[in-house]
Amino acid sequence: MAAVTALIMRHEANIVTLDQYSDDPEGGAFFQRVVFHRPGLSIALPQIDADVAETLDPYGVQWVLTDQSVPKRMAILASTSDHCLLELLWRHRRGELPVTIPMLISNHTNVAEDVRSFGLPFFHVPSQGPDKSAAEARILELLGGNVDLVVLARYMQIISEDVLDAVGVPVINIHHSFLPAFIGAAPYRKAAERGVKLIGATSHYVTKDLDEGPIIEQDVARVDHTMDAAALQARGAYVERAVLSRAVQWHAQDRVIRHGNHTIVFP
């Protein structure tokens, strides 16, 4: 750690924040996030990159050096629900999500007008029938080389393991329940049947194990016996959009490190 901070200061950069975490001080994994400010970074970056490699690679450290002035390119996949989607577009317009949004893809058309009113491209990729291969190929063609992040904003199609591999960038999903409770379809119906007093939402990275990927963020809302599944769903929409937005923001700010099936989320 001293070597990294010394290296950064040697490059005349100011450390803005530095956070680290070890899951076991005696021989566990060690995680660190350093944010530094350096005028003229884009010119100095290749040299800093080389120096970090020289310093850390001998120890087998996994590291990433990113320029926060270069926003990530985020594609959004959605279906008919607009609440998560609009929240992301609106927060982006406010300047709170450090991303560009090169495209929105939906298997329906009802959100097209809203998306375009934000000046963003909308692509309709229908997904009917049991054979999804044509739709999947079309989506991969659109995404290929164009994105650094894919966000599933209540996208109601399953992403196959093949597609996930081919996409090659992180995929963030919002599950409309408090995982691991109510895994799978229709969580609000299941929650109503179980008579729960809180409902939740979970944003996680998508892995080949459906609903089992590393959790980035979760939250809940209080409900009561007067609410049926439809009322839970209406209330839950507000939790979903907040949880997904926070997860996307933290990922876009390079605050999240995946480690096995966990995440470290730096403050």
- Positions that interact with its own copies (CB under 8 A): 1-2, 5-6, 9, 14-23, 25, 37, 83, 86, 90, 94, 96, 117, 178-182, 193-198, 200, 214-220, 224-226, 228, 234, 238, 242, 261-265, 267
**Considering beta carbons, is residue 138 or 235 the nearer one to its own copies?**
235
Q: Output the smallest distance, CB 253 to its own copies, in A.
A: 13
Determine the angle formed by the axes of helices 229-252 and 83-93, rounding to 10 degrees. Answer: 30
Nearer to its own copies, 166 or 227 (CB): 227
To the nearest whole angstrom, how small is the minimum distance from the Cβ of residue 195 to its own copies?
A: 4
Residue among 7, 35, 4 at smallest CA distance from 19: 35
CA distance 218 to 179: 8
* Residue 38 CB neighbour total at 10 angstroms: 16
CA dist 121 and 74 (Å) reads 12
What residue has token string 């904003």? Answer: 153
Is 162 one of the annotated active-site residues of the chain?
A: no
Report the nearest approach of its own copies to the CB of residue 249 (Å). 11
Which of 112/181 has CB closer to its own copies? 181
Token pair belonging to 77: 């996949």
Report, as residue numbers or ranges, the catalytic residues.
211
